[in-house]
Chain A
């Protein structure tokens, strides 16, 4: 299988750029295992909070969302190696997605809360009649 871009003179061979030696590999593995332990501890804390902690619904929700974002960051940045990519690729992956998701989450929650209120008012009106 030949690469289409290899026909161009001087096109870099990106496939082989990540190849590294044993010393570098040892360092990387150490980092990966540390991230694994962090994520395991975060998951255990989440489960403990979910099962036992009594800290109010809203506080719980924010804690869970915070821990989820921490885990998501580690997966994307370390496991998927986005942290090692070029700035352009980071922006092109993260920025459009983040913009869209903030908008979508905001709309979903606002509209959900609104329709909940409308529903309760409608029920009250129907009962009153």
Chain B
């Protein structure tokens, strides 16, 4: 029986069993499947956004007029410059990640650690930038002497009070457009993506510690870096779409 198996082994085809028909390890294959399902989640969010955008043509806020701030250059009108910087940062960190993966294929422990470190820094810059952008989106354009209220309409002592100086945005109302959906989609899509970036940074930090401690070297391969890299590139991929559909169109 065992003799027969030994002679048959070289003749095994992809789908005959005993080998992976996709030519990848179990972990990597299921990382891909997870990413496809996650991509479907983001696609449905962006398609819902597209639906609203087409339903309210002409009433939607112009991203050029909403996102024109840049840190340390307050008061200047630089449409989309900061989002452009964020895109550049994420693409850059994607490159450092793929270089870490490539170094892993050469079993170069030190190089993997260095590139992973740069990737973590890039991710942290991105998360920080998003915090900054949320802050400016929520507080809104700064109007001299105006009180920046949290709500435009609110109830106090049983009375309905309208705050005429409301600027910025929350889930109920925003000062960029009449439609609350604009703010809702902004918080939902960029928030969901930002959470992915945050978890990607956490995964990368775990990978960094494992590499430095020599866990991968002991294992004999750096495939874990490749899987973490797949996730990180996916985050970059989603941002490319969010950047186009939310900020450019």
| A interface, CB within 8 angstroms of B | 1, 4-5, 8-12, 14-22, 25, 28-29, 32-33, 36, 39-40, 43-44, 46-47, 50-51, 60-61, 64-65, 67-68, 71-72, 75-76, 78-81, 85-86, 88-89, 92-93, 96-97, 100-101, 104-105, 107-109, 111-113, 115-116, 119
B109 at the interface (CB under 8 A from A): no
Total A-B pairs, Cβ < 8 A: 167
Tally of B interface residues using CB under 8 Å: 69
Among B163-171, B172-180, B205-213, B236-244, the one that faces the other chain is B236-244
Report yes or no: A14 in contact with B20, Cβ–Cβ below 8 A: yes
Complex: how many Å from CA A19 to CA B54?
49
B81 nearest CB neighbor, chain A only: A47
Contacting residue for A10 out of B9, B26, B84, B236, CB 8 A = B9
Min CB distance B207 to A, Å, is 15
| B interface, CB within 8 angstroms of A | 5, 9, 12, 14, 18-26, 28-29, 32, 36, 39-40, 43-44, 47-48, 50-57, 64, 79-81, 84, 87-88, 91-92, 94-95, 97-99, 101-103, 105-107, 219-221, 223, 226, 229-230, 233-234, 236-237, 240-241, 243-244, 247-249
Complex: how many Å from CA A100 to CA B44?
10
Contacting residue for B249 out of A43, A64, A89, CB 8 A = A64
Complex: how many Å from CA A78 to CA B94?
11
Give the chain A neighbours of B87 by CB distance below 8 A: 43
Contacting residue for B50 out of A40, A78, A88, A112, CB 8 A = A112
A17 nearest CB neighbor, chain B only: B23
Report yes or no: A80 in contact with B241, Cβ–Cβ below 8 A: no
Complex: how many Å from CA A8 to CA B9?
12
